[in-house]
Chain A
Amino acid sequence: MASAKPQKPVPFPTPETQHFWDGTKAGELRLQRCDTCEHVYFPPRPFCRECGSRSVSVFEASGHATLYSYVINHRPARGFDGLYAVAVVELEEGPRMMTNIVDSPQTPEALVLDMPLEVVFEPVSDEISLPLFRPAGT
């Protein structure tokens, strides 16, 4: 039996985050908005941190983002080959999330802070697709 290549760590949803992972599997980036104070937030939770309301709704985000910050890892990592950026992007709706940047050289020259990005989805298991970002318009 051929030894399997080490895989990326795969998220395990909880009842409070299931809608997010259902969304990425369906090709949607889902955020939450407080029904009371309209605060938009990520990561998922069934209440608003700003005002304490338990009345919150899920909505589909635009998928547009900008590059907020990153590092380019030079050490070995499970499920990754070569140099790659571990990035944080700022979504158009306000929240930030960690991700990887695809369809771009992984260099300081190509990865310029505040560059426009758009979401793409990469299946990593039958149940989980990760939200990744690529330069807008590629």
Chain B
Amino acid sequence: MQSKTVAVVGAAETTEMGTIPDASETYLIADAALNAFEDAGLTAKEIDGVASSSDSPVAIAHYLGITPTWVDGTQVGGCSFMLHVRHAAAAINEGLCTTVLITHGQSGRSGIGRSGRGGAPSSLAGQFEAPYGGVGPTTAFTIPVLRYMKAFGLTHEELAMVAVIQREWASRNPRASFRDPITVADVLESRMIAYPFHLLECCLVTDGGGALILTSAERARDFPTRPVYLLGTGESSESPMISQMTDFTTSRAFRVSGEKAFGEAGITTEDVDHLMVYDAFAHLPIYGLEDLGFVGRGEAGKFIWERNTAPGGKLPVNTNGGGLSYMHSGQYGMYALQESVRQMRGIAPAQVPGAKISVCHGVGGMFAASGTVIFSNEAP
């Protein structure tokens, strides 16, 4: 047999076919999956890759109880599943995951609980979160932090310090939206958005974009810029609903994604010269530092307060100013990646001298998904 051969070991359709007025779209997707598990003699716990098109793979993984290290939500129409098969084969061959579920269901005739990717009133989030007055990220992303503060004694001043230090980095960056230095008092006196979060602890809302081009490391030497190599990557997801996050003091998606990336890169946190942690709100770098293993549980607030992540500190973090001060167009991950690449090329406005390894860690949704990329300017 050729190396890199991938096989189908389970296949099944929904229990019923035709007109199914007693099942929502999400359940049809799950029903097909449960039947495929039975066909393969597997349970959800043995699945580590999920692909779906009409509904988000994050929602499907959570609904079925899967902890993925690979998700594919490619949605290009009716042939999405052929693309999922191809992407799954590449992912299995690359070791991103071992056992992939590709699942689909649609209530095309009955129109029951059409899932889609928004917050329809029939979706789980539409039924069990939307009625309680959430107004988006400012009331969802932020909900876990009071529990974290009680568990670990994080103070309001320490939370504010995250924004203060990121503004210090932004002041070195001519492209940053906000560059004037701020103090902890400035942060705590800024307008309350959603207690305990003040305006300056919330990301900006700006316009912009970014793009990356990747090719083989072998070919990279023929290009005009200094190559920036991938050492390792990770991904995972947890819950599409913040209320169903397993533990409000730590993100499972962060931990799984980070562990996978560091394992693939064969490095430890000691080897890292530069870190980007997607900061939609001031608590994100705190969760990121802990869940990626840079500090112990409950230690990140003090670590930041003591200026370890500030200019001149031992672990420069969010050196472009981050979502809090640089920019945030809605999906900030691209700008975190751009800053890691600049640091590895040695051309960042606030360049970390001699940096050789940069970790770039992103979040999707409200702690719903996570992705980690580890870069180096030295070929692995």
Residues on A facing B (Cβ under 8 Å): 8-17, 21, 42-43, 45-47, 49-52, 54, 68-77, 79-80, 84, 86-88, 96-100, 108, 113-114, 124, 130
Contact = CB atoms under 8 A, between A and B. Distances in A.
Given A49-B64, A54-B34, A70-B143, A12 B128 contact: no
29 contacts: A8-B133, A11-B122, A11-B131, A12-B121, A15-B22, A15-B27, A16-B24, A16-B113, A43-B241, A45-B27, A45-B30, A49-B44, A50-B65, A51-B43, A52-B43, A52-B44, A69-B143, A69-B145, A71-B194, A72-B192, A86-B143, A87-B132, A88-B243, A98-B128, A98-B129, A98-B243, A108-B195, A113-B146, A124-B131
Q: Which 10 A-B pairs have the closest CB atoms?
A: A49-B65, A14-B24, A72-B195, A14-B113, A11-B127, A12-B121, A98-B243, A69-B147, A71-B194, A12-B122
Contact of B143 (A12, A17, A51, A88): A88
B139 interface: yes
Nearest to B120: A12
B143 A74 contact: no
A23 B110 CA distance: 25
Nearest to B199: A74
Contacts, number: 149
Contacts of B143: 69-71, 86, 88
B142 A77 contact: no
Interface residues of B, number: 52
B143 to A, nearest CB: 5
A121 B158 CA distance: 38
Given A14-B113, A15-B27, A86-B134, A71 B197 contact: yes
Nearest to A106: B195
B128 A113 contact: no
Given A11-B121, A16-B23, A113-B150, A43 B128 contact: yes
Contacts of B134: 73, 77, 86, 98
A73 B133 contact: yes
B108 interface: no
B251 to A, nearest CB: 14
Which of B30, B113, B121, B139: most chain A Cβ within 10 A? Answer: B139
Chain A interface SS verdict (over half):
loop
Given A69-B248, A75-B138, A113-B147, A16 B131 contact: no
B1 interface: no
A96 B122 contact: no
Nearest to A96: B243
B129 A68 contact: no
A42 B213 CA distance: 43
Interface in B114-132: 120-122, 124, 126-132
A16 to B, nearest CB: 5
Nearest to A51: B43
Contacts of A52: 34, 37, 43-44, 65
Contacts of A84: 133
B128 A70 contact: no
A47 B139 contact: no
B205 interface: no
B311 interface: no
Given A17-B127, A52-B37, A88-B242, 19 more contacts: A9-B126, A10-B121, A11-B130, A14-B27, A43-B127, A46-B27, A49-B44, A68-B147, A70-B143, A71-B138, A71-B196, A74-B193, A74-B194, A77-B133, A80-B133, A86-B139, A86-B140, A86-B143, A114-B150
A13 B126 CA distance: 9
B139 A73 contact: yes
A75 B134 CA distance: 10
B73 interface: no
A65 B139 CA distance: 21
Contacts of B349: none
A89 B355 CA distance: 45
A73 B135 contact: yes
B343 to A, nearest CB: 34
B63 interface: yes
